Structure 1
Amino acid sequence: MKEINLGDRILSIDIGGSHVKATILDHDGALQMDYEKIETPPSPKPKQLVEVIQKLIKAFPAYDKVSVGFPGYVKNGVIFTAPNLGTEAWKGFDLAAALQTALGKPTKVVNDADMQGLGVVDGKGFEMVVTLGTGFGTALLSDGYLLPHLEIAHHPITKSKTYDEYVGEKALEKEGDAKWNERVKQVIDILKRVFNYDTLYIGGGNARKITFKLDDNIKLTSNRDGIKGGARLWKEDTREHLTTSLKKNQ
């Protein structure tokens, strides 16, 4: 199912715990301008964040659709969790509807790692994306299509810590680069055994701090590449893809 015309320009927004980033993409995901960013307010309320986005894109050129990556669990544009922004303020908030009203354009909102995944994967086999930033994000894709989102970040990795707490920004600051690298290596070893991915992509602002040798099927990616997923989000129809796959396997 195609939902995008060749002339469409997509405003792609990546909401992070430290910054909100945005750019304009063409239908293939090529940047039409350098992406710009603005600081994310501490524990922002939904209305405040919508206003921050409006401020960031005030001088942007015209666009036809909006894609948003949000750091939490999102279902049909509605926020269920927002661990690094404040879940209580965000739970049940229809961010897609709010931005569609504020910006006047059709809007889709997904988890930020899911959107980054759409921007960086090759679309071959079972691919996994992790993001190392304020928290720990994950996305799973099959032949380039998103699979249901799992909040692996909030699964325990030790008796007292989740993945988010084990390798997130606060852990890096507290433990230092060397110990944090040991932890990231341990996390990758676990993911390798649990998911048996064909390719693992590592993005996020702290990916550049990795110092150990990566396996041949692990690739580092940039936020600049990830934000391109905003275009593919409008081409994707996960349910149609999964139905077709199931029929083939019957």
Structure 2
Amino acid sequence: MSQSTADEKILSFDIGGSRIKAILLDSEGNALIEYQRTDTPAPSTPQNVMRAVLNLSQRFPGYTRVSVGFPGYVKRGIVHTAPNLGTGYWKGINLRDELATLLGKPVRVVNDADLQGLGIAKGQGLEMVVTLGTGFGTALLMDGILLPHLELAHHPFTKDREYDEYIGNRGFIEVGAEKWNRRLQKVLNTLNTVFNYDHLYISGGNAKKINFALSSNISLATNLDGIRGGAKLWSHDHYNV
């Protein structure tokens, strides 16, 4: 399928380490029923998370397709890593097929930062989206086309810390706001040097804790902006990745 039809109603989920968010969208990404959320269950087993998704879905009648952003490496619907939910629980789970059976609708699943990227990027050159939440997510797009499966969060940033540990929420709690902001400035300088992006967007719950001026080619975005990527996930077969 290459293009969503006008009467599609796409239920878009963003599964996070602390919250599961959802919104009902038309094929253009406009909200039909507003953004709602529920706590991510603990322990975050597949059964518990999928039950929470099912319960949240019942607030959105009439959806025809489902898009899911998942916090880990997902390829063709199968979860390979889930650092903030528990990879031991999730590795090898075909989340796409299990949710399609549970919800009775076609489902597409991508990394949560990739979903955010589809919703936020403007389609102008090389764009990067980073999410500052429980962990540190990254997405790259070229002229609006997603370049999937970038897991920069798990690349070492210092001798003994990956990006996820250095700049994720655990890092914020460990060192406090001032030092975390200095860390973030180092990370942004590194990303600019390595990727030479045209524009960088910062999303996620901790984005509001930034206390320094951003460069002219860096913008803040919201989780609501990003979850609308669930509509674009169905706009091309390319995104069934």
TM-score normalised over the length of structure 1: 0.94
Q: Residue in 2 aligned with 1:181?
A: 181
- Aligned position for 2:231: 231
Runs of 4+ in structure 1 displaced over 4 angstroms? none
Determine the C-alpha separation between the residues in 2 that align with 1:209 and 1:14: 21
Where structure 2 has 5 or more consecutive residues not aligned to the other structure, the ranges are: none
Q: Distance in 1 between matches of 2:234 and 2:113?
A: 16
Aligned-residue RMSD, C-alpha: 1.3
Deviation at 1:237, TM superposition (A): 3.8
Tell me the residue number matched to 2:79.
Answer: 79
Query: Over residues 10-41 of structure 1, what are the superposed CA-to-partner deviations in whole Å (9 max), with x where a residue is unaligned?
Result: 00000000000001000100111211100001
One-letter amino acid of the structure 1 residue matched with residue 209 of structure 2: K
Matched, 1:153 2:158: no
In the alignment, the residues of structure 2 paired with residue 43 and residue 79 of structure 1 have an alpha-carbon distance, to the nearest angstrom, of 17
Aligned partner of residue 13 in structure 2, secondary structure: strand
Alignment correspondent of 1:30: 30
Give the match for residue 245 of structure 1: none
Match of 2:167 in 1: 167
Structure 2 residue 56 is matched with structure 1 residue 61? no
Amino acid at match of 1:20: I
Give the superposition deviation at 1:148: 2.9
Encode CA deviations 1:79-131: one digit per residue, 9 max, x unaligned: 00000000011001000001000000000000000000000111010000000
Query: Can you list the C-alpha shifts for 1:162-205, whole angstroms capped at 9, x where unaligned?
Result: 00000111111111111000000000000000000000010000
| Paired amino acid for 1:53 | V
Measured in 1, the distance between the counterparts of 2:117 and 2:218 equals: 14
Q: Indicate if the aligned counterparts of 1:140 and 1:149 stay in contact, CA closer than 8 A.
A: no
- SS of the equivalent of 2:34 reads coil
2:142 corresponds to = 142
1:92 maps to what in 2?
Answer: 92
Counterpart-to-counterpart distance in 2, 1:227 and 1:24: 10
CA distance in 2, matches of 1:22, 1:95: 17
Are 1:14 and 1:112, in contact at CA under 8 Å, matched by a contact in 2?
A: yes
Pair 1:126–1:237, CA change in 2 (3 A): farther
Count matched residues.
240
Aligned-residue offset at 1:2 = 1.9
Alignment check: 8 A CA contact 2:114 2:148 kept: no
Q: Equivalents in 2 of 1:18, 1:93: separation in Å?
A: 20
8 Å CA contact 1:127–1:197 kept in 2: the answer is yes
Deviations 1:135-173 (A, max 9, x none): 000000000010132110000001110000001111111
Corresponding residue number in structure 2 for 1:117: 117
Q: Give the distance between the partners of 1:91 and 1:121, measured in 2 at CA.
A: 29
